[in-house]
Amino acid sequence: MRAFLFLLLLALRAHAGDLQLTLPPVVYAVPGVPLSIYYDNVVLTPNPERYRFEVSCAAGVGEARRWTLTATEAQVGDHPLSIVVKDAAGAVIEQGKTTLHISPREAGQGKTVRLLLVGDSLTHATHYPNELARLFAEPGNPRMVFLGTHRPAAARGGVAHEGYGGWTWSRFLTQFSPAESGETAGPLASKATSPFVFPSVDGKTGVFDLPRYFREHCAGLPPDVVLFLLGINDCFGADPENPDPRIDLMLKQADGLLAAFHQAAPEAMLAVGLTTPPNSRQAGFTANYQDRYPRWGWKRIQHRLDERMIEHLSGRESEGIRIVPTELNLDPVDGYPENNGVHPNAVGYAQIAASFHAAIKAEW
């Protein structure tokens, strides 16, 4: 995908209403892989069923809870996509638009791509990394080489990453524990020390060193693509009434990590996944947090966080950054178990993988 698409086709968000309809600049799809936009994920309301969502696009169909598409080769290309939200009486409340980009099924075929995943517990679970490996093993895809020091028991053959439960953007920049660092920041330090932070000469402090990480853990070569899926732990405890101070801090820390990767791997695509939406059920939050953190509180924080991420990261292709709409294609009902607020089930993890897969394919 060319950089000018981000500049010419940035999402428009209506400010007149209260629903805060928010869309990313581009939505990615690939023939044969289902893609959806779940209405609950684009607006800020505890009751999306009270509104009518009308999607206009040359591809896909509207359903009760979503617009959905399984693209064909004949639909490859760019398609304007707009969403109008109406109240029960048919009055327009908000409207916005984005671009649907459908890549050819064979995009990237014959290439070898070195892929590094950086994330929190959603990545540590390894379900979406495994699904990414499956998708890229299908005919017509590039050969994907997974990089990383972390290979949980759930990882299928060849799958590795840097995903750890509870981690944030800042921990990847600074986390260091002398007691567990060892000589390098490899697997022994996976929980206490960032894989990108190494002991200083005296061993008492940590030094962020991506080139060393590439030398010691990536066969001396930088990645071609780095996927980031972070933000939940950075902002989960923010004040729902005023999450911006916490979001400001997270964006500053994200800038630091993204800039470091761009400097150390200037040709790499830095694909930043938008923070995923919550389970639609309050029961999931009750099970996890005994209602100390209600679903509606996190929904307000997450929606504002994604809005800010879109504003902050759009138009930065010269820095290697691409926004991935991982928040749109995750079903907040069937993509979650009943007893978890923020961790998807197998269906939801597969939807995250499909979003990343389509965004990577758009590179060619």
Which string of DSSP letters, residue by residue, matches 59-76? S-EE-SSEEEE---GGG-
Q: What is the pLDDT of residues 132-145, one digit of tens each?
A: 999 999 999 999 99
pLDDT for res 180: 59
pLDDT of residue 17: 53
Mean pLDDT on 227-243:
98
Q: Are 36 and 68 in contact (CB under 8 A)?
A: yes
**Domain range summary for the chain, segments of one domain joined by +:** 4-102, 112-361
Asked if residue 319 has pLDDT above 80, the reply is yes
**Per-residue pLDDT tens digits for 174-205:** 999 886 544 444 444 446 899 999 999 988 89
CATH of 4-102, one of 1.10.287, 1.10.1660, 2.30.29, 2.60.40: 2.60.40
| Percentage of the chain modeled with pLDDT above 90 | 89
Predicted confidence at residue 78, as pLDDT, reads: 98
Contact 73, 328 (CB under 8 A): no
Residue 114 to residues 196, 221, 343, 357, Cα–Cα distance (Å): 17, 9, 27, 14
* Tokens of residue 297, six digits: 């509180």
Distance of alpha carbon 33 from alpha carbon 185, whole angstroms? 37
Average pLDDT over residues 12-20: 57
Whole-number Å distance between alpha carbons of 31 and 345: 24
Distance in Å from the first CA to the final CA of the chain: 7
Token duo for residue 210: 């991506």
Size of the chain, expressed as the number of residues it contains: 364
Query: Please, which residues bridge with residue 143 across strands?
Result: 112
In this structure, the number of other CB atoms found within 10 A of the CB of residue 256 comes to 16
In tens, the pLDDT along 34-78 reads: 999 999 999 999 999 999 999 999 999 999 999 999 999 999 999
Homologous superfamily of domain range 112-361 = SGNH hydrolase (3.40.50.1110)
H-helix or E-strand spanning residue 174: helix 169-174
Topology alike, domains 4-102 and 112-361 = no
Q: What pLDDT, on the 0 to 100 scale, is given for residue 203?
A: 86
Is 4 a residue whose pLDDT tops 90? no
**pLDDT the model gives residue 5:** 39
Q: Alpha-carbon distance 310 to 105, whole Å? A: 27
